[in-house]
Structure 1
């Protein structure tokens, strides 16, 4: 028997990557807990829908035995895509949702989280566990949490996202600024609140491009929508702009000025936004990053290879990381955690570098002249 099964594994972060890994490890007899800073699974609002790809997100769910649950919860038709110009004119439409070769089904984050949580053994996830520090303890770790709890684990896996607190224990390599800042907003009950945009959305996604800017709108299964502007800005624009993003009037004024040559149709989103706007400068890990593998700590998802969202690979990469890491832990060729982690990190870093390169090219192209044609070529050729 693989001696890694005798190890106590702690996963920090209950996102799709961390939960997928926990499921895959438990299926194979590993002892694992997931520690999540949220107080419970409904502690914060869920973002946009996720499109899962055959070779990554869906492959992980298939290995986890969860495809039936997924098929019962995904949103048929939510992958309908409209590419429009800044005046709201539809320039390309992709409604071929029955094309299995291009099958990238959409699922809301909430239902995906529930599928994964329900698949785990009882009390696997320890909520209200805000990570503070790791301390070496012989060949294992003591993990300290904000609530005062201290737990011991033989292996620690960072699945704690873009601002990972565990990553610095592995490498000091930091992300670089991509050149683009996103402003995120949400609208509840979009059918009645923003009827024009709801009609244009048609239950799927809108990609609007023009004047070296983007505006992406995504429907959700609860009748709400989320939207994201993308603009080329200085790295510190959020602070230097002086905008209070919790003040709707200030954000509307910014949008009117920044998107002054866009049709007023888009104002409907900002005037009816239900929550405070969230500015998000977009970062990416260096494409050539590497580090010396450690014997008892590693990372997956954004913690390992943060990148902008403009290739739709984030959640898929995290879930594929979980699949590959679990396979390395299960593989009898690797009799030590160090060997398993080294094998995983080697292939993960190579794959992440290639995907980040593609993502950065896409990020630049979608915020440059000719963005509409670039996007049509990608989606039309999918």
Structure 2
């Protein structure tokens, strides 16, 4: 690993990254490549404590770019899901409108249109495996922190403490670090997802399992959408039902989300004119999650602090658009570069430069995501037609 230069701001500094998701782990890897002293504090009890969710695609000029800088391209290629970047689009009657599996040509690494998918757990594992031993401190749920000399003392739920000269919050949009940086709150986009997991789709909803075919399925009808994705090994399915709801719908709906039968009954009624095969998804799910799609104000700004900042959703939550993980990884690259390139006279100036470019990028991507999510969650006939046409457009191979 590269030794820190004498002019490097991180010389003899301890860095605490709070949150062991893709952004936090990427940052730890990049910092260690520069010779920095970094720990990642993660609330999960262990690396195997929980399933990490559905697949995620990395993009040419963001996620894949960072993977290369991190020296992990070959291990990524060994773990990504071949063919999972394909889409299948159907209507509410289950008629296939777009089937990318039947298109000629296959994109590959080096092509700007190639967006390889990888299981979130696999992505997490390959970063963890690349870190120095004991970099990730498990069972470390953040409770609070207070300034200590020129740094921070961090308190965790398990009763332990840690000290750091610099703290970087990578703990998602419910970030416990964010309030130490800014009091700007999230806003509601108007769209809500109801997420479900199917543990045994090959057995419990075989027709839907075959239709997904280890790729991504999007089903659209006027005013509502269903998306389905496989897990990394294809054994499970994650689905999302999307529509526009009032902000207080969850509170006023009368639905007990701890009762899967109640949620299932609601969804079958909401999608009552859709093909019954979709109902097999709902009936096979034993745990639903209500996910209002929130975002931080696009014009948010705050006064840069001397030794604390944010990356990823903790900094710039936006509606899902395929950019979340990719942007978090870019944030990690940018803050690492600012802290280690020797161009700034102090840490606060380096953080300020990072935050300026990070917030400018997030504003642009957030505007696009906010416009997209309302059309995606509640598509019109015109939007559905345009969406299908775009999927059918040939890509450069």
TM-score range, shorter chain: over 0.9
Distance 1:355 1:377, change over 3 A: farther
Q: Is 1:61 aligned to residue 71 of structure 2?
A: no
Q: Summarize deviations over 1:147-196 as a string: whole Å, max 9, x none.
A: 11121111000000010011011111111001111111111232232111
1:190, 1:368 → 2: CA distance? Answer: 27
Tell me how far 1:378 sits from its aligned partner.
Answer: 4.3
2:18, 2:232 → 1: CA distance? Answer: 28
2:240 to 224, 228, 250: 228
Q: Is 1:35 aligned to residue 46 of structure 2?
A: no
Where does residue 199 of structure 1 map in the other structure? 210
**Is contact 1:52-1:316 (8 Å) kept?**
yes
Tell me how far 1:28 sits from its aligned partner.
Answer: 0.4
Q: Name structure 2 gaps, 5 residues minimum.
A: 1-5
1:272 to 272, 284, 289: 284
2:117 to 106, 123, 130: 106
1:239, 1:42 → 2: CA distance? Answer: 33
1:114, 1:122 → 2: CA distance? Answer: 13
Q: Name structure 1 gaps, 5 residues minimum.
A: none
Q: Is 1:74 aligned to residue 80 of structure 2?
A: yes
2:351 to 341, 351, 362: 341
2:342, 2:390 → 1: CA distance? Answer: 41
2:298 to 255, 271, 287: 287
- Which stretch shows the higher mean deviation, 111-120 or 245-254? 245-254
**Is contact 2:91-2:220 (8 Å) kept?**
yes
SS of 1:186 mapped into structure 2: strand
Q: Is 1:218 aligned to residue 229 of structure 2?
A: yes
Where does residue 3 of structure 2 map in the other structure? none
**Is contact 2:220-2:379 (8 Å) kept?**
no
Q: Summarize deviations over 1:29-62 as a string: whole Å, max 9, x none.
A: 1000000111111212221100010111111111
Q: Is 1:301 aligned to residue 312 of structure 2?
A: yes
SS of 2:287 mapped into structure 1: coil
1:261 to 273, 276, 297: 273
SS of 1:104 mapped into structure 2: coil
Tell me how far 1:246 sits from its aligned partner.
Answer: 2.8
1:17 to 23, 40, 50: 23
Q: Summarize deviations over 1:72-96 as a string: whole Å, max 9, x none.
A: 0000001110111111111122235
Distance 1:374 1:334, change over 3 A: farther
2:386, 2:345 → 1: CA distance? Answer: 47
**Is contact 1:54-1:103 (8 Å) kept?**
yes
2:43, 2:213 → 1: CA distance? Answer: 36
2:366 to 356, 359, 371: 356
2:147 to 136, 153, 164: 136
**Is contact 2:193-2:242 (8 Å) kept?**
yes
Aligned residue pair count:
380
TM score, norm. by length of structure 1: 0.96
Distance 1:171 1:378, change over 3 A: farther
**Is contact 2:98-2:391 (8 Å) kept?**
no
2:311, 2:224 → 1: CA distance? Answer: 31
Q: Summarize deviations over 1:215-271 as a string: whole Å, max 9, x none.
A: 000012331111000111111222221212232221121012211222212001011
1:162 to 173, 178, 186: 173
2:142, 2:154 → 1: CA distance? Answer: 7
**Is contact 1:39-1:127 (8 Å) kept?**
yes
Tell me how far 1:5 sits from its aligned partner.
Answer: 2.9
SS of 1:203 mapped into structure 2: coil
1:250, 1:306 → 2: CA distance? Answer: 30
- Which stretch shows the higher mean deviation, 39-48 or 172-181? 39-48
